Amino acid sequence: MQHSKHLLLLIILISLLSGCIKEVKKTTDNNVKYNLIEPGNGIYAVVEKDVSEEKLENTFYEKVYFDEKKLIKIERYNKSSELTDELSVAAITTFEYNSENKVKQVKYFNSQNQKSVDEDFGYHSIEYIYDEVGRVRMEIYRNANYEFLKVPRDDSGNIAKVDFLSPVLTYEYIGDKLRIKALDQNFNLLKEVVGDKPCVPFIDCGEND
């Protein structure tokens, strides 16, 4: 009987230690950094990267989460250390990755951790599809209900004369040129232009340079 009690205590102790080890691994896998930021007329600017928490008092800053080297979330705070939506972008941006460790989806959330949509164009998320050599082949813009954005049309069925974002953009790489096609929610061609290389916000678009 005494032996059984000792065995039971040993099992409980091992379980507790195992739980502790898993928790330590979880916290060390996710690296967190702080950047000082400055509001601007457009997107905010990062003025100092990877600062200590002691420097965050009475400043705007962002808290950046990494899973190993992959950026997985950005949180933006005001001078009172509260999540803020007042920096020309929602308080929270999250990043999901595909099996090739390329960004698959970018999503935006407000300071209450609710889905946020762009004020001008109404998208909540951007989805990226790549070709066989890792280049962005398609961008898809969706609203908070995960539906394609809709191209605004007037009563006659013509495209309304207002600013809008095409729900689907495709990229065709032809030598040193890039052909971009704008499509509606039904994949009908709206416009075709020669343009610049696509990029992922806050990763290679230059917002944080």
155 vs 136, residue with greater confidence: 136
Confirm whether pTM is higher than 0.85.
no
Distance CA 65, CA 75 (A): 8
Q: What is the mean pLDDT of residues 85-113?
A: 96
What's the pLDDT at 8? 40
Residue 18: predicted pLDDT = 45
Angle at 23 between CA 107 and CA 13, to 5 degrees: 155
Q: pLDDT, tens digit, for every residue of 109-139?
A: 999 999 999 999 999 999 999 999 999 999 9
Question: Is the CA virtual torsion 68, 85, 79, 81 positive or negative?
Answer: negative
pLDDT at 17 over 50: no
What's the pLDDT tens digit per position in 45-75? Answer: 999 999 999 999 999 999 999 998 899 999 9
> What distance in Å separates the CA atoms of residue 61 and residue 47, rounded to the nearest whole number?
9
Fold classified for 92-209: Lipocalin (2.40.128)
